[in-house]
Amino acid sequence: MAEQQDAIRTYGLGRRFGDLTAVDNLNLTVPRGTIFGFLGPNGSGKTTTIRLLLGLLEPTQGRAEVLGLDVATQADAIRARTGALLEHNGLYERLSAYDNLEFYGRIWHLPKPERQARIHALLDHMGLWERRDDRVATWSRGMRQKLAVARAMLHHPPLIILDEPTAGLDPVAAAALREDIASLVAREGTTVFLNTHNLAEAEKLCDAVGVIRYGRLLAVDSPAGLRTRRGSPQIEVVATGITPPVLDVLRARPEVHAVTLENGGRLALDVAPDTDTGALVSLMVAQGVQIEEVRRGASSLESVFLKLMAEAEGDGAAA
Amino acid sequence: MALLRDATTVMWKDLKVSLRANRGIGGVLYLAFWALLFGAGLPLLMGETWLTSPEVLFVWAWLPLYVVTPMLGGAFAGERELHTLETLLATPLSNQAILWGKIAAGAAYGWAYALASIVLGPFVIALATGSPLRLYRPPVAVGGPVVGLMGAVAGASLGVLISLRAGTNREAQDGISLALMAFTIPIAAVRAGLQALDVPVADVLLAINGWLLDLVLIAALGVVSFVAVRIARARFVRTRLLLD
């Protein structure tokens, strides 16, 4: 029964293309009703994983269940219950936005009145209704991505799979799309499997994230859990007078793992758990730094992600 | 029932995409060119023979396919090229519904031209010669639309099969053109041979029972369609289609 609560479960799932292992022994659980972020750089195996989950590729190793259905034997039933925005938006650019949704509404056998109402509601929600009769080819990339998200949600699927939905969008369009996804998901209680390499997006949207590199799952946790459990404590210092020699002094300290100086004089120090913050501050003051603010917290998701990537590189090199 | 409904949905989309591609002056001229060629040009070229010779059956079987070629090239190769194939495959549409929908769209498009040619021909001849309206001989009048349909289905089936294997739209269209030539060349060769022997093609065809000729043509086109569809169905493996 416990398995029925999960939208996705994979058991040692893997896929090879000749000598290349795209996905390797993936064991993953995504509970229903959550937004799960699958984080990884380009070429890490995210898109292959999606194709395996939708039955568009056969696994060469292990198996997977989506909504309690086996991907090897019940792929049609999985596709019937899933909405997807894949690597490319898959829209027919010669057709209007309305006709694109009409086509997919017919595929999912939505009755005509329901189809019309649903298309209206989704386009309205996305702010696209007024331009419903325009050919999609004339639309901006952001509008097309919104339309593709609307298409994925058209038939009220219990699971939607989104592959880099905000890739290539400007910050404003990306934020608007994220907001649309979040509000639609909250309203409809859908489970979301979100492929992304945008860490801010994952942090903002996701209940849990999995980090993948070279086809291997490196970590799974909530964004906050990942930051606290997999990252080092962090000391943030806002100051002036932080010169390269000061940074060298800090880097030479054994309790300091990483030093990052951002624009605006914000210094982030990844440190050992029992680090004496006061001693580090005194050291900086002695070096002529004028400190305005000091704050202790967890690592950013970005630094955890980069740390995991570096570890994976090390493992890859060792292997 | 679900198969019919889904295939109709795919056909609806494919026809709509094709017709939308032919919007604007260029598109209208393109459609008008073929309609005039089949409906007026060929009847004028053949004159009275258009109404009396069973040769027109071959015209209705093969020539409309040249119009459908661009559409059939896009059946799979075009979708792959435009990155719409993967999203289509990620739906619950069955393989058969996708295949039949695409074949039906191509066949409907080609058959429309054949029908236009069948209907317009007698009027064009009457206008051009100033003689009263004459109709086709019964085996041609009855067999013509069926042969036209079967020709369109056969061409569409072949086109979809070629498109399924092709990497790009251009590659698919080249393959389709070659396939059409493979059917056209033997017919043209027989025609040329008869002319060399000073034997009118029409006389040879008229010596054959008209209804029998209908049946032979329909059966031959049926066999081509059947074989092409069987191969296409065997090749349509969803989990390999994205890798081809």
Q: Is A76 in contact with B92 (Cβ distance < 8 A)?
A: yes
**Residue B132 forms contact with A (CB below 8 Å):** no
Which 3-state string (H, E, C) describes chain B?
A: CHHHHHHHHHHHHHHHHHHHHCCHHHHHHHHHHHHHHHHHHHHHHHCCHHHHCCHHHHHHHHCHHHHHHHHHHHHHHHHHHCCCHHHHHCCCCCHHHHHHHHHHHHHHHHHHHHHHHHHHHHHHHHHHHCCCCCCCCHHHHHHHHHHHHHHHHHHHHHHHHHHHHCCCHHHHHHHHHHHHHHHHHHHHHHHHHHHHCCCCHHHHHHHCCHHHHHHHHHHHHHHHHHHHHHHHHHHCCHHHHCCC
Determine what percent of chain B is predicted with pLDDT higher than 90: 31
pLDDT over 90 at A147, yes or no: yes
Question: Of A73 and B169, which is predicted with more confidence?
Answer: A73
Q: How far apart are CA A3 and CA A9, in angstroms?
A: 8
Q: Is A54 in contact with B16 (Cβ distance < 8 A)?
A: no
Task: Give the pLDDT score at A29.
Answer: 94
Looking at chain A, which residue has its C-alpha nearest residue B80?
A90
**Residue B89 forms contact with A (CB below 8 Å):** yes
Task: Give the pLDDT score at B29.
Answer: 81
Q: Is B17 in contact with A95 (Cβ distance < 8 A)?
A: yes
Nearest-neighbour CA in chain A from B111: distance (Å): 23
Q: Using 50, 70 and 90 to split pLDDT, how confident is the model at A187?
A: confident
Looking at chain A, which residue has its C-alpha nearest residue B2?
A109
Burial (0-12, 13-18, 19+ Cβ within 10 Å), B108: middle
Beta-strand pair A256-262/A216-221 = unpaired
Out of B16, B83, B89, closest to residue A95 by CB: B16
Q: Helix or strand or coil: residue A45?
A: coil
Q: Using 50, 70 and 90 to split pLDDT, how confident is the model at B69?
A: confident
Out of A56, A58, A82, closest to residue B89 by CB: A56
ipTM metric: 0.86
Beta-strand pair A61-66/A69-70 = antiparallel
pLDDT over 60 at A1, yes or no: no
Out of B2, B86, B94, closest to residue A86 by CB: B86
State the average pLDDT over residues A139-144: 91
Q: Is A93 in contact with B9 (Cβ distance < 8 A)?
A: no
Out of B12, B13, B92, closest to residue A79 by CB: B92
8 A C-beta contact, residue A296 and residue A199: no
- State chain A's mean pLDDT as an integer: 89
pLDDT over 60 at A318, yes or no: no
Q: What is the pLDDT of residues A5-15, one digit of tens each?
A: 799 999 999 99
Q: How far apart are CA A61 and CA A52, in angstroms?
A: 11
State the average pLDDT over residues A118-129: 92
Which of A8-17, A137-146, A308-317, B79-88 comes out lowest in average pLDDT? A308-317
Out of A58, A94, A106, closest to residue B21 by CB: A94
Nearest-neighbour CA in chain B from A282: distance (Å): 59
pLDDT over 80 at B178, yes or no: yes
State the average pLDDT over residues B16-39: 79
Which of A101-115, B1-15, B155-169 comes out lowest in average pLDDT? B155-169
**Residue B239 forms contact with A (CB below 8 Å):** yes
**Residue B242 forms contact with A (CB below 8 Å):** yes
pLDDT over 60 at A71, yes or no: yes
- For residue A257, give the H/E element and its range: strand A256-262
Q: Using 50, 70 and 90 to split pLDDT, how confident is the model at A99?
A: very high
- State chain B's mean pLDDT as an integer: 87
Q: Using 50, 70 and 90 to split pLDDT, how confident is the model at A83?
A: very high
Q: Is B238 in contact with A55 (Cβ distance < 8 A)?
A: yes
Which of B12-16, B75-79, B203-207 comes out lowest in average pLDDT? B203-207
**Residue B12 forms contact with A (CB below 8 Å):** yes
Task: Give the pLDDT score at A180.
Answer: 82
Which of A193-197, B32-36, B150-154 comes out lowest in average pLDDT? B32-36
Chain A residues with CB-CB distance to B84 below 8 A: 88, 90-92
Q: How many interchain CB pairs under 8 A, A with B?
A: 73
Highest-scoring range by mean pLDDT, A38-42, A223-227, A304-308: A38-42
Task: Give the pLDDT score at B86.
Answer: 94
pLDDT over 70 at B244, yes or no: no
Q: Helix or strand or coil: residue A78?
A: helix
Burial (0-12, 13-18, 19+ Cβ within 10 Å), A291: middle
State the average pLDDT over residues B138-163: 90
Chain A residues with CB-CB distance to B92 below 8 A: 76-77, 79-80, 107-108
State the average pLDDT over residues A276-283: 90
Nearest-neighbour CA in chain A from B133: distance (Å): 42
Query: Following CA atoms B74, B79, B83, B88 in sequence, which dihedral angle do they give, to the nearest 10 degrees?
Result: 160
State the average pLDDT over residues A149-167: 92
Say how many residues make up chain B: 244
Other beta carbons within 10 Å of B182: 10
pLDDT over 70 at A159, yes or no: yes
A83 phi, psi to nearest 5 deg: -115, 145
What's the start-to-end Cα distance of chain A, in Å?
39
Residue with tokens 């032919």: B22
Question: Of B23 and A307, which is predicted with more confidence?
Answer: A307
Out of B12, B17, B83, closest to residue A88 by CB: B83
Chain B residues with CB-CB distance to A100 below 8 A: none
Q: How far apart are CA A274 and CA A85, in angstroms?
A: 45
Out of A88, A108, A135, closest to residue B86 by CB: A88
**Residue B134 forms contact with A (CB below 8 Å):** no
Q: Helix or strand or coil: residue A130?
A: helix
Beta-strand pair A35-39/A69-70 = unpaired
Out of B17, B82, B90, closest to residue A84 by CB: B90
Task: Give the pLDDT score at B8.
Answer: 96
CA distances from A33 to A38, A47, A157 (A): 16, 22, 12
State the average pLDDT over residues B46-65: 83
State the average pLDDT over residues B218-232: 93
User: In whole angstroms, how large is the CA radius of gyration of chain A?
Assistant: 23
Nearest-neighbour CA in chain B from A164: distance (Å): 14
Q: At residue B7, what is the residue type?
A: A
Q: What is the pLDDT of residues A228-254, one digit of tens each?
A: 777 778 888 999 888 999 999 999 999
Q: Using 50, 70 and 90 to split pLDDT, how confident is the model at A59?
A: very high
Nearest-neighbour CA in chain B from A13: distance (Å): 16
Task: Give the pLDDT score at A317.
Answer: 52
Q: How far apart are CA B244 and CA B232, in angstroms?
A: 14
The per-residue b/e assignment along A147-167, b for 16 or more CB within 10 angstroms, e otherwise, is bbbbbbbbbebbbbbbbbbbb
8 A C-beta contact, residue B94 and residue A79: no
pLDDT over 50 at A183, yes or no: yes
pLDDT over 80 at B102, yes or no: yes
